[in-house]
């Protein structure tokens, strides 16, 4: 019961953070989970909780979702999940997070990566990367978030469209984990506690988001993205 209370509370706090800024909470949550549950269960359970967190956040702001990106992202996710499922047990993942960090920094402070001149093709590519890499290393929300930030979406559209992208990613991740035989049922009390915390956090954070001006929001978001990217680099290279 103590573990459920602790991780449920952490899920609430991280979901509040994500509902305000659109990212950060997923990485904080996955960083907090080791030591409480077996290592093999961390990414599958994180996906369950993040599906609830992102799904509730998208629902609370559904009027701001940019649906025109959904199909391309979904098709890209199909490709990414398929490729990752084939290589998850055969490749060295030690330095893969450096790609995520570099991609984020390039989007926030540089021109970003453009897969073609076609916006839908770019979103397709982001879907493949975010979902494929997410199966291998866990939290990859900043990939899509940094791309949407570069597109100039307003605050609410940025947060809830990122949430939609993450819902799609986590649905495919859970499907793959189910196919490879991960047993979710023994963890249902913990999952329920964390889902409850994450949904309450989404509700709370969605109401606090409006207290930040558009300019302040995007300035803080750039700082948060940069700090997360630098954290990935340091942890990957030195720990």
For position 137, what pLDDT does the model report? 66
Alpha-carbon distance 172 to 80, whole Å? 9
Q: Whose CA is closest to 58, among 184, 208, 192, 206?
A: 206
Other beta carbons within 10 angstroms of residue 91's beta carbon come to 11
pTM for the complete prediction?
0.79
How far is the C-alpha of 221 from the C-alpha of 161, rounded, in Å?
15
114-138 pLDDT per residue, tens: 555 677 888 898 899 888 887 776 6
User: What is the rounded CA–CA span in Å between residue 8 and residue 187?
Assistant: 13
Q: Which residue has the higher pLDDT, 197 or 83?
A: 197
Residue 48 has pLDDT above 90, yes or no: yes
Q: Does pLDDT of 87 surpass 80? A: no
- Residue 178, pLDDT above cutoff 80: yes
Rounded alpha-carbon distances, angstroms, from residue 16 to 43, 93, 126, 189, 222: 20, 30, 25, 22, 18
Decide if pLDDT at 18 tops 60.
Answer: yes
The arithmetic mean of pLDDT across residues 205-212, rounded, is 85
Q: Are 130 and 162 in contact (CB under 8 A)?
A: no
- Write down the pLDDT at residue 106: 77
> What residues make up the domain containing 9?
2-238
What percent of the residues of the chain are helix, what percent strand, and what percent coil, each to the nearest 5? Answer: 80, 0, 20
CA dist 26 and 139 (Å) reads 6
Domain count, the chain: 1
- Checking if the pLDDT of 94 tops 80, the result is no
Could you count the other beta carbons within 10 Å of the beta carbon of residue 236? 17
Average pLDDT over residues 2-16: 93
């Amino acid at each position: 019961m103590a573990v459920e209370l602790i991780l449920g509370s952490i899920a609430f706090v991280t979901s509040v953070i994500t509902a305000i800024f659109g990212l950060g909470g997923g990485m904080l949550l996955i960083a907090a989970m080791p030591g409480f549950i077996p290592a093999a269960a961390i990414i599958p359970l994180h996906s369950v909780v993040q599906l609830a967190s992102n799904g509730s956040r998208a629902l609370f702001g559904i009027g701001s979702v940019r649906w025109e990106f959904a199909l391309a992202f979904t098709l890209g996710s199909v490709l990414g999940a398929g490729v990752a499922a084939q290589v998850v047990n055969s490749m060295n993942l030690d330095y893969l997070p450096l790609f995520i960090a570099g991609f984020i920094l390039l989007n926030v402070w540089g021109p970003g990566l453009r897969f073609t001149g076609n916006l839908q093709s770019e979103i397709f590519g982001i879907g493949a990367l975010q979902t494929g890499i997410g199966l291998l290393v866990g939290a990859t929300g900043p990939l899509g978030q940094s791309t949407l930030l570069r597109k100039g979406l307003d605050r609410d559209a940025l947060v809830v469209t990122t949430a939609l992208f993450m819902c799609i990613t986590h649905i495919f991740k859970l499907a793959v984990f189910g196919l490879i035989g991960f047993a979710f049922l023994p963890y249902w009390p913990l999952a329920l506690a964390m889902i409850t915390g994450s949904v309450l956090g989404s509700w709370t954070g969605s109401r606090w988001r409006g207290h930040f001006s558009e300019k302040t929001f995007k300035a803080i978001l750039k700082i948060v993205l940069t700090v997360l990217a630098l954290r990935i680099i340091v942890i990957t290279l030195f720990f």
